[in-house]
Structure formats: C-alpha cells, structure tokens
Amino acid sequence: MLALVIQIVMKKFLIRFVVPIFLLFSFAAFTFNDKYFEIIKNIEIFSNVYKEVNENYVDGTNPSKLMKVGIDAMLGALDPFTNFYSEAQVEDYRLTTEGKYNGIGAKGKKMGDYVVITEIYKDYPAFKAGLKIGDQIVAVNGQDAKGKSAEDLYQIMRGIPKSEVNLTVYRPGASNKETLKLIRDEVNIPNVPYSGMVNESIGYLTLTTFTEKSGANVQAAVHKLKNENPGLKSVILDLRENGGGLLGEAVQVCNTFIPSGVLIASTKGKEKQYNAMYKTMGPAIDEKIPLAVLINKNSASASEIVSGTIQDLDRGVIIGQLSYGKGLVQNTKEVGYNSRVKFTTAKYYIPSGRCIQNVKYENGVKVKLPDSLRSTFKTKNGRKVLDGGGIEPDIELPDADYHFVVQRLLDDNWIFNFCTEYSLNNPPPADPKTYEFNDIDLFLKYLRDKHFDDQSEIEKRLFALEDQSIKDNNQLINDDIQKMKSELEMRQWYDIDKNKLIIIQLIEEELVYRQFYEPGKVQCRFKKDPYILKAIEVLSDKDKYNRILAAK
C-alpha cells in the first residue's frame, strides 16, 4: 500500500514539476537554436547577394563602399546611435571618444572647386606651419585638389605622427600660390576650450564634449577660477551643443559640484553585465557655490546626465531649451580589420529615477513626446520633473535657431568670405571681450555687389512656375510672377535688416576667432549671448535663485 502511495506521489511530482522543467529547457534550446539558425541562414543569403552583385553588376562596384552601405542600413533599423566605423573612420571614432586624432589640426569646407580652411587649432601642425583661415587648398603632396571634398582631404592629411604632408595653398590677397610643409602630430582638441570670469563675481566655463579627462579638466578649471579670483561667488557651466560622450566623465563632471558617494546614474540593459550604478568617488571642488547650467536642443546624452543630475538634486538652475533626449548607453566592439561597431547596450536613469530617452523617432529623427505620455518624478526638494523626451530647463529661453536668411548667410559662406576680405584691409580685433564690428553697411554693400540671393523655397517654386508660364506663353501669369519676385527681393533685405544684430554678432565672432581662436570666440559672446545674460541675472539675484530651486 505504501509503495502504491509513493508511486502515485512520484507520478504527480513528475507531471507537475519535472515534465514542465524538461519542456522549458527543451523550448529554450529550440528557441536558442532557432535564433542562431536564422542568423546563419541570413548571413549566407547576404553573403551570396553581396558576392553576385560585386561579380556581375553592369557598372562595377566598390566592395568596401557597398558593404558599408549595407551595414549602415542594417544598423539604421535599430536606433540613430548604433553605428559602424570602418578602418578609414577609426580616427573619427578616436575623435569622438578621446578628443584626439593624428593629423594637422585644421578643418575645412568645400567652397566652389576647392576646400577652404575654416578652423585651425592653435599650437598644432597647421598653426605652426603658418596655415591661415581662408587659405584655399589647391594641391596636396603635389596632387591637384580641385573637386576634392573636405572628407577626401581629411583622409590624406591625417596620418602617423612625424610624417610629412605638403599643402599648396592660395591665400586671398597673395599674388602667388604657396607650398607649406606640415609635420603631422597627435591633435588633442581641448574639451574645455575656455574658462574665465564674465564679471567680478561670476565664473564661466564651456565643455564641448565628454571625451577622456573632461571631468578632470572641468574640475581643474573650477579649481583655478576659485584660486585666481577671490571674489568668485557663482559659476556658469555651458553644455550647449555638447552631444555627450563617456558616461564615466559625466560622473566626474558632476563630482565637481556634488560630494562623494552620491548616485549620479544607473544603467539597465538586457544583459546583467550592463547593469551598473555610478556614484561620485571623491570630494567636490565646491558643493555649495551657486551654479547655472546652460543647455539647448543639441545637448545630449552625457550632457543630459550632468544637467539632469544637477536638476534632480536641486544643485543648480538649468537654463535654455529642452535638451535632445538621449538616455542610451553605447559600447563598442572591434569586428576585425581595425573596424568597430558601436551599439546600444542599456538605458541610463538619473537620481530621481527618470530616464530621459525620447522613445519616439520617425525616419531617425526625434519627435517631441507630449507631456501626457511622460511620467512624473520629483527632485530632492520635491519639484516635479518629467521623464522621456529630454531635460526641461528651469528657465526656458526662446528657440535659438537662426532666421532662414541668417542661416543662408552662414551655410553659403557669405559671412565667412566677407570676413576674409575684411581682414585683408582692416586691423584685427585687439580684445575679444570688447571688440565691436561697426561696418554693417559695408557688409550690406558686399552682399549687393555679389548679388546675394537667399534662394527661399517660395522663390525656387516661382522660378519653376516662371519656366512653365514661358512655355505656355502666358504673359499675365508671368507679369504676376515678376511682381512677386520683386517683392521677395525686397523681403530678403527686410529680413536682413530685422536680423542685423545677430548678423553683427556672427561677424564679430568670425573675426575674433581668426585672431584669438576658440577661447576668443567664446569671450566675444559674453556681452550679447541671451543665455549667458540670463544666467548672470539669475546668479546675481540670490532670492530668485533659491525660489527656482524651492519645492512648489
């Protein structure tokens, strides 16, 4: 009888526990094998397609370029931040993660048939060899550079340190071409290009990217401000246009103003190895000094960790625009032949518990989430903040996008080329903080003499309509088109006059940059930048500063 009972119990046990466990493992094994079968099958299909196209396509192919397009398209189906870096792009990868690359220390832009130098990093090979902003590169190592893109020339001008590259340039105002010998070197672009005082009591520093040592550099800058300026009472940290970088550096930047042992961010991914908590490790440089952080719509990732943490802990006031909304963490893996893939492994969460990742994208472009789809969290003082979609500033300023006509002046190099001509006939700025450009009429004359046309979308459509009216011999419509074209011509000059102050500021910055480089350009903004002026206003009013950070 006992044996029968034991038999029945064991049977029930097997049915209830052992069989489901066996089926579970069988299903897991099936799922595992099924997934990898699909991977192997599709790799074979892709390989066969790639081989057949390269061997038989009528016009011939570039195998490397074709593969790069295929890989980019595959990764583009995931998120905008998962990317492939080919061997030729490894220096670009170093630049985004380390802030350095091997080359000459200059940037250019194609203008007409040739690339023209637009930026030079002080104390690097291009600067030492005497290359100037505005120089037109007509040959590289004796090879004609006509028709080459800026990217084509970057690949040539980058190379191992101590190797030579010869640039033949045409310099505006010169009668002959000149050949310069440059010795390539490691170019380390400073992630804190400027720190200093905007007035007697307020310090300022700008952080352009979260590359290696950015945390240490921010801490050193604040430490220097404190040591050299006894009257320092508050600090502005500028993170505008900072697209992010290394998460560890974001923690270090926070540690400048936040004491040891405070949680800055946590990460959660599909794999446990990507789950982590990041806390400040050392004493703050100053954990009490009033702080204003500037952000805009292009402040992303690590910039949002810093600004979001400062906001969540009520450590400072955030000023500007809604940030980008990138709450993802990327890792990189080498995939052979010195190429890499960067892929998303986790999401990060800031101290209040919110993730600021914008979950809505259309064709790779971020779409703003309505507040109704965003969850509410609270800061240390009890202020309400939202997740998903970026960091909302405590003080929101108007969109800083330039008017269409101003953007046209920038994109089509009207301001740049004018400054090149202006520099030939006028003394350079003597002081970046006080320099003022007072020749706006000369700039307007330059535009008229060169037949500036803003090429608005309406005007482009009018040209198409005009062509059709001529074909149809419709004189009445053609007369109306001419009137509208005349009105559009007047409108562009009205728009230029309306945006005269920002145009003057852009000209001032360009002229100052040519003399004092990036630090000078930053200082030139102090007297007119609405973000900096608002930060000065808030930091100068202790009661207002405290009211913003108080619970509501």
Q: Which residues are catalytic?
A: 301, 326
Residues ≥6 apart with Cβ < 8 Å to 126? 104, 105, 106, 117, 120, 182
- 348, containing H or E segment: strand 340-349
CA dihedral 52, 54, 56, 59 (to 10 degrees): 150
Q: Nearest 5°: phi and psi at 268?
A: -135, 125
Distance between CA atoms of residues 55 and 533, nearest Å:
62
- 223, containing H or E segment: helix 214-228
Report angle CA 200, 202, 204 to the nearest 5 degrees: 120
Locate all alpha helices (DSSP H) within 14-124, ordered by sequence: 19-56, 63-76, 90-98
Q: Report which residue type is found at 239.
A: L
Question: Would you state the structure tokens that stand for residue 383, as one six-digit string?
Answer: 């202020």
SS3 481: helix
Residues ≥6 apart with Cβ < 8 Å to 316? 237, 257, 290, 291, 292, 293, 310, 549
Distance between CA atoms of residues 295 and 307, nearest Å:
8
Q: Report which residue type is found at 308.
A: G
The separation between the first and the last C-alpha atoms of the chain, rounded to the nearest angstrom, is 75
Contact 74, 105 (CB under 8 A): no
Q: Report which residue type is found at 146.
A: K
Question: Would you state the structure tokens that stand for residue 252, as one six-digit string?
Answer: 């270090």
